Copies of this chain bind each other. A is one copy, B any other.
Amino acid sequence: MAKEITPRQQDYAQWYQDLVLRAGLADYSAVRGCMVIKPYGFAIWERMRDALDAMFKATGHQNAYFPLFIPKSFFSKEAAHVDGFAKECAVVTHYRLRTGSDGQIEVDPQAKLEEELIVRPTSETIIWNSYRDWIQSYRDLPLLINQWANVVRWEMRTRLFLRTTEFLWQEGHTAHATADEALVETRQMLDIYAHFAEKWMAMPVIKGIKTEQERFAGAVETFCIEALMQDGKALQAGTSHFLGQNFAKAFDVQFANAQGEREYVWATSWGVSTRLMGALIMAHSDDEGLVLPPVLAPVQVVIVPIYKGSDSIPVLTEACQQIAEECKALGLRVELDTEDHARPGWKFAHHELRGVPIRIALGLRDLQNGEVELARRDLRTKTQTTRDGLGLHCKNLLDEIQEEMYNKALAFRTAQTHRVDTKEEFVQKLEQGGLVLAHWDGTGATETAIKEATKATIRCIPLDAPDEEGTCVWTGKPSARRVVFAKAY
Q: Which residue of chain B has its CB nearest to the CB of A118?
A: B97
A154-B67 in contact given A62-B42, A105-B86 (Cβ < 8 Å): no
The CA of A65 and the CA of B40, in the complex, are separated in Å by: 11
Which of B63, B71, B72, B89 is A96 in contact with, Cβ under 8 Å? B89
Chain B residues with CB under 8 A of A184: none
Whole-angstrom distance between the Cβ of A36 and the nearest chain B Cβ: 5
Do B75 and A130 have beta carbons less than 8 Å apart? no
CB of B39 within 8 A of CB of A69, answer no
Enumerate chain B residues within 8 angstroms of A166, measured Cβ to Cβ: 67-69
Which residues in window 126-163 of A have CB below 8 A to B?
126, 129-130, 133-134, 145, 149-150, 152, 154
B-contact 0/1 string along A251-275, CB 8 Å cutoff: 0000000000000000000000000
Stretch in A26-34, A355-363, A477-485 touching the partner: A26-34
Summarize A's interface: helix, strand, loop or mixed: mixed
* Cβ-neighbour of A90 out of B69, B83, B103, B105 (below 8 A): B69
A110 within 8 A of B: no
A3 interface residue, CB < 8 Å from B? Answer: no
Sorting the interface of chain A by its residue count into under 10, 10 to 19, 20 to 34 or 35 or more gives: 35 or more
Instruction: State whether A95 touches B105 (Cβ < 8 A).
Output: no
In the bound complex, residues from chain B placing their C-beta under 8 Å from that of A116 are 94, 107
Question: Does A64 belong to the interface (CB within 8 Å)?
Answer: yes
| A70: Cβ under 8 A from any B Cβ | yes
Also in contact, A107 and B91, with CB within 8 A (given A97-B72, A150-B150): yes
Assembly of this chain: how many copies?
A: 2
Q: Does A425 sit within 8 A of B, measured CB to CB?
A: no
Interface residue A390 (Cβ < 8 Å from any Cβ of B): no
> Do A168 and B65 touch (CB < 8 A)?
yes
* Given A88-B96, A97-B75, A46-B63 contact (CB < 8 Å): yes
Q: How many Å lie between the Cα of A90 and that of B126 in the bound state?
A: 18
A76 within 8 A of B: yes
- Does A423 reach chain B (CB closer than 8 Å)? no
State A30–B68 Cα separation when bound (angstroms): 11
What residues of B have a CB within 8 angstroms of the CB of A93 in the complex? Answer: 91-94, 107
B63 and A42 contacting across the interface, CB-CB below 8 Å? yes
Give the shortest distance, in Å, between A293 (CB) and chain B (any CB): 21
A63 B86 Cβ-Cβ under 8 A: no
A130 lies within 8 A of B31 (CB) = no
Contact in complex: B117, A90 (CB < 8 Å): yes
- Shortest CB-to-CB span from A371 to chain B, Å, is 32
User: Is residue A82 within 8 Å, beta carbon to beta carbon, of the partner chain?
Assistant: yes
- Determine whether the beta carbon of A96 is less than 8 Å from that of B154: yes
Whether the Cβ atoms of A91 and B82 lie closer than 8 Å is no
Q: Quick one: which of A46, A70, A134, A154 has the most chain B CB within 10 A? A: A154
Residue A455 is within 8 A (CB to CB) of chain B in the complex: no
Residue-wise interface mask of A (176-212) relative to B, using a CB-CB cutoff of 8 A (1 in contact, 0 not): 0000000000000000000000000000000000000
Could you tell me the distance in whole angstroms from the C-beta of A356 to the nearest C-beta in chain B? 16
Asked if A74 is at the interface (CB within 8 A of a chain B CB), the reply is yes
B residues in contact with A76, CB < 8 Å? 103-105
The reply to whether B62 and A43 contact each other, CB–CB distance below 8 Å, is yes
Q: Does A382 contact B (CB under 8 A)?
A: no
Q: Which 6 pairs of residues, A with B, have the shortest CB-CB distance?
A: A39-B62, A34-B67, A37-B65, A91-B94, A95-B154, A93-B93
A-B contacts, 18 listed (Cβ < 8 Å):
A29-B129, A30-B67, A30-B126, A36-B66, A37-B65, A39-B62, A39-B64, A42-B65, A43-B63, A46-B63, A68-B119, A68-B150, A72-B97, A75-B105, A82-B105, A90-B95, A93-B94, A149-B150
Apart from the given pairs A31-B69, A75-B105, A91-B92, 17 other A-B contacts in the complex at a CB distance below 8 Å: A29-B129, A30-B71, A30-B130, A31-B117, A31-B126, A36-B64, A37-B65, A43-B63, A68-B152, A72-B97, A76-B104, A87-B98, A89-B97, A90-B92, A91-B93, A91-B96, A149-B150
